[in-house]
Amino acid sequence: MQSNTKYLLSEPTVTITKVLMLFAVISLVTACGKKPGDEKSSQSIVSVNGDEITVHQINNELQRANVQPAQQEAASKQIVQGLVDRQILVQAALKEKLDRNPPVMQAIENAKTQILAQAYLESRVSSLVKPTSTEIADYRTQHADIFANRKIYITDEAVFGLDAGNSEQLQALVKSAKTLKEVEQWLSAHQVKFAQTRVAHAAETLPQQLLTKFSQMALGQVVFINASGASGRTMAVSMAEVKEMAISEKDSKPLIERILTEQKRKLTAEAEMKRLRGEAKIQYINKKYDPANVAKSEKPTADAKPTEDANSVAKRKLETNIGKGLSGL
């Protein structure tokens, strides 16, 4: 029973509310329109107090988990036990009328709207044409630093924290330290605890700004990350070794294809969202939520940067919403 329960609650951020929502959504779906002939066509696998679990449910779980064909038979047995446990809990929840609990009812409605929104976006991006060989080749050429000329940067790093009172000393250290050993000596002399480690950074895992910095560093050179802050964690990084580890054209092709496909999906979803927003009649009944009013209320001071205009605010929010939507597709 322990392993089955683990399967049921395998999501890392499961909460009681989510579990209740799960029960309610399942009960909502399973309660919809059973017909007399459905039993024969459903290919039932298990009956739990009269409620049937079908092969379609198992196949759906296998697809969601992206289980490989060779592992599907073993995975199916585990999935069936997880579905049995889930159905038992759903029945217990319905017996206690948790589906009538206001938070659960709201969770069902939220889940429904999210599913519909994602389904609409998926319907618009699912038929996109795959990237061509030319597009893939061009992307590889434009990003030689993570494919043909890919490097692995081996760094020695000292991570430490300083309070606000040591900010001036830290600035002096940043300007004077030439080696990681000098940094460590300074930290020891000032009784600052630090952790030292050696890390391998693949080029494709680094932010562009940091990748550019690493590519220009000489062996033994030290740079500080987040060293300008008066408090918090600071990292002193020394370049120990640089290895050439190119990704072959054959190996990079599926990776680039996935990247370009995701980019096309994102751009298509953004364009569709922009079109729908343009056609929609949006009226902010409470004006404080109107992006135009938000932009106007945030007046810049003499030293502050200009605030975003209404269009910029709306665009930024649109990008955030699209990103969240795509993450669920």
Task: Identify which of 52, 26, 56, 48 has the alpha carbon closest to the alpha carbon of residue 39.
Answer: 52
Return the pLDDT at 174: 84
Give the SS3 label for residue 246: coil
Are 224 and 174 in contact, with CB atoms under 8 Å apart?
A: yes
pLDDT digits (tens, 9 = 90+) for 72-87: 899 999 999 999 999 9
Helices (H), 96-149: 102-125, 133-142
Q: What is the tens place of the pLDDT at every residue in 175-233? A: 888 899 999 998 898 888 899 999 999 998 888 889 999 999 999 999 998 755 444 68
Per the CB < 8 A criterion, the answer to whether 111 and 21 are in contact is yes
- Residue intervals in the chain for CATH 3.10.50: 151-244
User: Quick one: CATH architecture of 151-244?
Assistant: Roll (3.10)
Residues 34-61: pLDDT tens digits?
A: 444 554 445 899 999 999 999 999 999 9
Q: At what angle do helices 133-142 and 249-279 cross, to 10 degrees?
A: 100
Residue type, 282: I
First to last CA, the chain: 32
State pLDDT tens for residues 222-265: 999 875 544 468 899 999 999 999 999 999 999 999 999 999 99
Query: 221 with 242: CB under 8 angstroms?
Result: no
**pLDDT tens across 59-115, in order?**
999 998 888 888 989 999 999 999 999 999 999 999 999 999 999 999 999 999 999
CA distance 100 to 90: 13
What type of residue is 225? I
Helix (H) or strand (E) holding 72: helix 72-95
Helix, strand or coil, per DSSP, at residue 222: strand
pTM of the model: 0.56
Share of the chain above pLDDT 90, in %: 53
CA distance 257 to 252: 8
pLDDT score of 298: 57
pLDDT for res 17: 47
Residues 6+ apart with CB under 8 A from 188: none
Q: Residue 297's pLDDT is what?
A: 59
Asked if the model's pLDDT at residue 16 lies above 80, the reply is no
**Binning pLDDT at 50, 70 and 90, where does residue 324 land?**
very low
* Number of C-beta neighbours around residue 152 at 10 A: 14
Q: How far apart are CA 4 and CA 232, in angstroms?
A: 42
Q: In which element (H, E) is residue 202 found? A: strand 194-202
CA-closest candidate to residue 177, choices 202, 154, 194, 165: 194
CA gap 82, 64 in Å, rounded: 14
Query: How many Cα atoms sit within 13 Å of 208 on the Cβ side?
Result: 1
Contact assessment for residue 209 and residue 166, using Cβ atoms and an 8 Å cutoff: no
Query: What is the rounded CA–CA span in Å between residue 40 and residue 50?
Result: 14
pLDDT value for 295 = 59
Q: Which of 27-31, 95-99, 127-131, 223-227 has the lowest mean pLDDT?
A: 27-31
